[in-house]
Structure 1
């Protein structure tokens, strides 16, 4: 015999939120003291670009599949009996009364505005602590002055009292310190995207911890979980059939006898390189896992799952040799199990991360960024399919070689910014159709080119206008020449075609230090020039400027 679901409708307030996020073992007063309460109060509230929730719908009992798997594997085996049923708390931007919800459930056509305002839900687990379970909430909404991008999302079907909805987000939950600590929870959130993206397994937190194994490089046991080290994180990623792309970074004390000023420069350059790496893989929608040392302390290690980013209006700092679009990265959005979904991380001037964690032990949200904890970037993990073989650094080096065409032959007076990122070839072609950096037959040739599923794109821009790009086979061998296309766009196209038609210019280009001659046939093919064009020309080419080629 089935029982009806109990639900209630409330106006959003701090008191309502505290009561909704509590359970029989953790009352509202204790909930208000938790870090997650303060985070959700701001995230769902009207201030600081919050989601602006106005109505709360509390539904119970709720059978959470993610909690049920861990319950069966762990919680059900103890002597003390814990409930297996949860509570689910829904949030809406619209303000409405219970009668309006009843009408919308019976006749969905009358409640279009109500359902369109749905923001998502939080599951409350029946545990004596760390009760925030599976959470699906929309990310921060776009703003006119803030270019927020959230590539690491997927559609989730949601059933609200029989009404079918879809939320485009990434699942979140708090670690429980029994079957999962922060690393396991960050992996669980990341695997929700990779399972959707690559059709790989989606294990429960319990099974992620079990797959990571206790390799006994330090003290402890597998369960209850106290955390995972780098080797265990790699083991867990490989256990679901993915490759763990790992980068580890030097800490300030590891720069030896360098002066404080020199250490700061090293850390800044290192962070710029890390920005390029993180941004490049995020563009494909891959979750990027950051391993941080809070306040630089190894006993305060923390793993978060990066889901999005924000770019400043202009590049803030140039890289040492090449200016990148990722240099303008000024905000990361991450699923931080100790805070909440899409938590905001910024960058400090000395090459570290400014976390949303308040300094000290006071979890009342600090009003100023200066009151927040600083995190040192220790390592970065990217879980990805083994089909993607070419790395970001390999593409970056190729771009560095190719840029000789600008630095040695076409004296660059304009600021050239390279946008380097991993993409699906079909998505890349769709982007070209939208951007229209070139028209007619040249565009058609690119669109009908046979490309692998995954490509690396390196696009050169001047004043944000594309002038040239290189497309690489992300699935090729490391020992091959994996550049597939060299596409020249207007306004550089006609001018560069004129110069490359001259044999003397081509000789000058080939003699440029470090320029890879294998790029030249790709350029000639794109510009519809033959290898013997201008073969009889003896013209001596003088200094050329990029501004001259661009007509500026």
Structure 2
């Protein structure tokens, strides 16, 4: 027998090569949905026809191929069938270029240089074969359900808002080592495997970290699901598996499963989009079980067909799209389904109680397939996960929703008017990651922010960047659980901060592992909305860790406050506030007030007209006043003499502050002291000296063009 055949890529040749190995009568082969779909799917990869050519692309038939999955199924059931055709399969390989037997023979023999010496452009190399390789399809020795393990190249682009799960499969073609990035597909044979079995099989292939050879065959999966003893005669043929049996199989596989009951909870389409994207972004396929509704009535005039199970392996939610990519054993791999409302298609024939249900509208991949042929309404989602993943998605989602609600409620009232910015659009994305993945992302991240960058009237302080670096190192070196729900929060389209939820914790635990400031400016602005809100739980149910999140922020803030307390003293309220020093809204009335977070590129006298007048005072009696604010900011203003007489509270308003004092012009330098009866008098003499020296270092760093010396009493 010829070990392989090569033909052009056409409908007729595809049908002929499927017939070839076993000689079955497949007269209606292109009436088979899977073949029709796979042909259309592969055709989308083919380049445009060159003028004068009738075809493009090639199919190679590998006559004899031992498929491990079918071999196991054969040994468990088909070997006892009187008319079985043996355990050997065939395999089709697809290429988006033209191939000939002469080219393949020369490549296999290793004499392409000699064979094509006069036609070097026809020489075939392993690299070019790999470049044009579209994948393979196993043909099982069965008359009807012959589509075996199929791995085809993933189509389309990817990016923010779109992803398809894929893993690398090694392919050995007569000793030629090829690879294909895909997730394996096969149709149910309705004997050892029902739709749920193939959905589980696909999900196991998509599960991260699991080798292809570790994945059980469909017959083994069915046996585990039915809980029959090995060798039992009562497990096959198998028609379907229940949700409980699907869960039992995952349990046998040593995996944890997370269920979401869409029928009971009346799940909204928006939640499902977040739910699906989170798991697909985590490289976790989602098994969906539900009811199939045909858009044309069957012989009994009923549009409800049957229960069905599929595996979601991708999504595209960009620009308002609602596309879900599934492996549907009755259709094909990466079949695109659109999320639709059931009532929009069934109209007045929508079953009672199903008016608000959404479903996945399935369509064949071909130019004229614009209308779906059926709608699958999911009742339950089952996600296989690492056995250590105790917390399901809903806890991360509930926490993220409440964080966004808090930001959206408080930022417009406080921060936005304070620094004069519009309210940004706030959103989030969730995925399950290993701590190694999370640390890799954090480690390679370098902030583009620098001291002096502004957000409205607020500018980035050098100390905040120092703190960002310290927190980054703390996250990279800290002791954290292996699996984390990572919640990314966005300011418009810019990632602002990440929150990590320990996925190995329990619902009653304190699962917040940490917060990472991806963008120091946006993160500080957004998280400022939580200051003083630690007692609010954001909803009275147990499906979130919002209180734990606010406590984590408070601990983080307390750590920074402890640093400020040690450097510049604990907060002190002003001993006395004069009526003219504070406005009705509690703000200071000193018009020469300026706040400084970051180093200045100009000297102090260039900041404000009043500062220049102080410096040019020939009597040297005029002076400036300063204070370190509760968040580490430096206040500076003119000390306005009587009769107006505006002192330190005219800068800080009604706020508490830390060490404070005066800045006096000494001709060649500025002298800094701690003379403030309103703020500094309550510290001990030793504390005043310590805090003043630290404040002097801060003032020098903020005004590198000026000279400052400490007052030595």
TM-score in same-fold range (> 0.5): yes
Task: Give the paired residue count.
Answer: 493
| Matching residue of 1:304 | 310
Among candidates 249, 252, 261, match of residue 236 of structure 1: 249
Cα distance in 1 between the residues matched to 2:443 and 2:371: 44
Superposition CA RMSD, Å? 3.5
| Matching residue of 1:97 | 100
Q: Tell me the SS of whatever aligns to 2:87.
A: coil
CA deviations on 1:437-464 (whole Å, 9 max, x unpaired) are: 5777144443333332211111111221
Cα distance in 2 between the residues matched to 1:49 and 1:421: 36
| Matching residue of 1:420 | 430
> Quick check: 2:168–2:180 contact (8 Å CA) kept in 1?
yes
Change (3 A) 1:27 1:457: same
1:206 aligns with 2:219: yes
| Matching residue of 2:40 | 42
> Quick check: 2:191–2:238 contact (8 Å CA) kept in 1?
yes
| Matching residue of 1:355 | 361
Higher relative contact order (Cα pairs below 8 Å, separated by 6+ residues)? 1
Moved more, 174-183 or 439-448: 439-448
CA deviations on 1:131-163 (whole Å, 9 max, x unpaired) are: 01111211114279x964223x32221101111
Q: Tell me the SS of whatever aligns to 2:282.
A: coil
Cα distance in 2 between the residues matched to 1:394 and 1:437: 29
Among candidates 173, 180, 198, match of residue 160 of structure 1: 173
Deviation at residue 53 of structure 1 after TM alignment: 7.1
Change (3 A) 1:433 1:18: farther
Q: Tell me the SS of whatever aligns to 2:496.
A: strand
Q: Tell me the SS of whatever aligns to 2:27.
A: helix
| Matching residue of 1:341 | 333
Moved more, 402-411 or 73-82: 402-411
Q: Tell me the SS of whatever aligns to 1:81.
A: coil
| Matching residue of 2:279 | 281
CA deviations on 1:311-346 (whole Å, 9 max, x unpaired) are: 313xx4xxxxxxxxxxxx622211111111111111
Change (3 A) 1:48 1:414: farther
> Quick check: 1:409–1:512 contact (8 Å CA) kept in 2?
no
| Matching residue of 2:498 | 469
Deviation at residue 276 of structure 1 after TM alignment: 2.0
Cα distance in 1 between the residues matched to 2:505 and 2:56: 48
Which 4+ runs in 1 deviate beyond 4 A?
Answer: 47-50, 198-201, 296-299, 433-440, 493-497, 515-518, 524-528, 531-534, 537-543
1:530 aligns with 2:578: no
| Matching residue of 1:271 | 269
Cα distance in 1 between the residues matched to 2:172 and 2:9: 21
| Matching residue of 1:478 | 507
Cα distance in 1 between the residues matched to 2:209 and 2:499: 29
Cα distance in 2 between the residues matched to 1:406 and 1:168: 41
1:180 aligns with 2:190: no
What residue ranges of structure 1 are gaps of 5+ in the alignment? 252-265, 317-328, 359-363, 544-552
Deviation at residue 376 of structure 1 after TM alignment: 1.0
Cα distance in 1 between the residues matched to 2:194 and 2:548: 49
| Matching residue of 1:490 | 520
Change (3 A) 1:298 1:354: same
> Quick check: 1:404–1:512 contact (8 Å CA) kept in 2?
no
| Matching residue of 1:547 | none
Deviation at residue 354 of structure 1 after TM alignment: 3.3
CA deviations on 1:238-271 (whole Å, 9 max, x unpaired) are: 12121221111128xxxxxxxxxxxxxx96x622
| Matching residue of 2:17 | 20
Change (3 A) 1:199 1:332: same
Change (3 A) 1:53 1:348: farther
Cα distance in 2 between the residues matched to 1:373 and 1:85: 35
| Matching residue of 1:139 | 154
1:506 aligns with 2:535: no
Moved more, 460-469 or 428-437: 428-437
CA deviations on 1:89-139 (whole Å, 9 max, x unpaired) are: 001122222222223223498342122211111111111111011112111
Moved more, 92-101 or 349-358: 349-358
Cα distance in 2 between the residues matched to 1:386 and 1:229: 22
| Matching residue of 1:390 | 391
Deviation at residue 370 of structure 1 after TM alignment: 2.9
> Quick check: 2:224–2:252 contact (8 Å CA) kept in 1?
yes
> Quick check: 1:25–1:127 contact (8 Å CA) kept in 2?
no
CA deviations on 1:343-398 (whole Å, 9 max, x unpaired) are: 1111115652333256xxxxx96824434312211110111122001121112222
Q: Tell me the SS of whatever aligns to 2:531.
A: helix
| Matching residue of 2:61 | 58
> Residues 77-156 of structure 1: matches in 2 within 5 Å?
77-107=80-110, 110-142=125-157, 148-151=162-165, 153-156=166-169
CA deviations on 1:291-323 (whole Å, 9 max, x unpaired) are: 13111876511111112222313xx4xxxxxxx
> Quick check: 1:307–1:333 contact (8 Å CA) kept in 2?
yes
- Kindly name which structure, 1 or 2, has the bigger radius of gyration based on alpha carbons: 2
Cα distance in 2 between the residues matched to 1:30 and 1:239: 39
Cα distance in 2 between the residues matched to 1:433 and 1:542: 43
> Quick check: 1:524–1:530 contact (8 Å CA) kept in 2?
no
1:69 aligns with 2:72: yes
> Quick check: 2:34–2:331 contact (8 Å CA) kept in 1?
yes
Cα distance in 1 between the residues matched to 2:585 and 2:287: 50
> Quick check: 1:63–1:85 contact (8 Å CA) kept in 2?
yes
TM-score by length of 2: 0.63
Deviation at residue 199 of structure 1 after TM alignment: 9.8
> Quick check: 1:91–1:121 contact (8 Å CA) kept in 2?
yes
> Quick check: 1:5–1:61 contact (8 Å CA) kept in 2?
no
Cα distance in 1 between the residues matched to 2:217 and 2:226: 14
